[in-house]
Amino acid sequence: MSINWFKYSSPATFYPLAGKLIPWFYGLAAMLTIAGLYISFFVAPTDATQGESYRIIFIHVPAAWMSMFIYLVMAMWAGLGLVMNTRLSSIMAQALAPTGAMFTFVALITGAFWGKPTWGTWWEWDARMTSELILLFLYIGYMSLTAAIDDVRRADKAGAILALVGAVNVPIIYFSVKWWNTLHQGASVSLTRAPSMAKTMLLGMLIMAIAAWMYSIAVALSRARLLMLEREKSTVWAQEVLEQKP
């Protein structure tokens, strides 16, 4: 079966397709979350060293993974939009950003809630958490820049440059923070050193991560639809859509 993918590269055709897909992704997200939570609380055993507070990793780690994954995907879409001048690519990038920022924030907060009972302080300047904080700044920078530019095409392209520069810098920043942390290291323990993983713990994290992924796709597609309508409001297809729904 050959699908003409390019047919969906125009907002007019992608809009209804996205509309059909969104409920499926929300559904998957909900089911996987329930499964993941069940494993997190009723299957995974108590941890030998950390007791019950380790159960926070079932949110913290998937959120952290998603925060980084979404940034890379966002930068990829933005870059594609810049190079190939495709409207939809830039829209996807902007649609992903707030969700990525949200997961970054969740990763930071749950990291703090995990650290306090386990290692005594709400915040540790270890390499991973510090890099996560900087990632949040990068997201905020991208969203602020695109929001500050009125001209849509300029906003897309400038945002793409920023996202790509950020993406290239993430390994450099992570390396420098790791370097900084090891040099100033006292006797402190790495905050994100997870307990030695029982298989069920790994499974729980994985399922929650996929749930988060499905959720992100659903939300990003919803946001993308709104952006499509906003940008293409004077086209025939958009007006037909707006007139149909009550």
Partner 1 sequence: MNWGSFANFIDMGGRGFYVWGSYLITLVCIVLELGLLARHKRTLWQRLTQIIKLNKQG
Partner 2 sequence: MLITIIRRDLLLAYRRRSDVLTTLFFFVIVVSLFPLGVGPEMKTLRLIAPGVVWVAALLASMLSLNRLFAADYQDGTLEQMLLAPQPLALIVLGKIVAHWLVSGLPLALMAPVLGMQFDLPPEALAILFFALLLGTPILSLIGAIGAALTLGLRGGGVLLSLLVLPLYIPALIFGAGAVESYIAGVSPEGHLSLLGALLILTGLTAPWVTAVALRIAME
Smallest distance, partner 1 to C-beta of residue 82, A = 25
Residues near partner 1 (CB under 8 A) are 41-46, 51-53, 55-56, 59-60, 63, 98-99, 102, 105-106, 109-110, 113-114, 116-117, 215, 219, 222-223, 226, 229-230, 233, 238-239, 242-243, 245
Question: Which amino acid is present at 56?
Answer: I
Tell me how many degrees the CA angle 37-54-200 measures, rounded to the nearest 5.
Answer: 50
CA atoms within 13 A on the CB side of 200: 13
Closest CA to 214 of 54, 80, 36, 42: 36
Alpha carbons 206 and 223: distance in angstroms, whole number: 26
**Partner in contact with 193, chosen from partner 1, partner 2, none, beta carbon below 5 to 8 Å by kind:** none
Q: Which residues contact 186 (CB under 8 A, 6 or more apart)?
A: none
Helix, strand counts (H, E) of the chain: 7, 0
What is the nearest approach in angstroms of partner 2 to the Cβ of residue 88?
A: 19
Bridge partners of residue 51, in order along the sequence: 47
Q: Which stretch binds partner 2 (CB under 8 A): 36-44, 95-103, 106-114, 175-183?
A: 175-183
Mask for 183-212, x = binds partner 2 (CB under 8 A): x-----------------------------
Interface with partner 2 (CB under 8 A): 134, 137-138, 140-141, 144-145, 148-149, 153-154, 157-158, 161-162, 165-166, 169, 172-173, 175-177, 179-180, 183
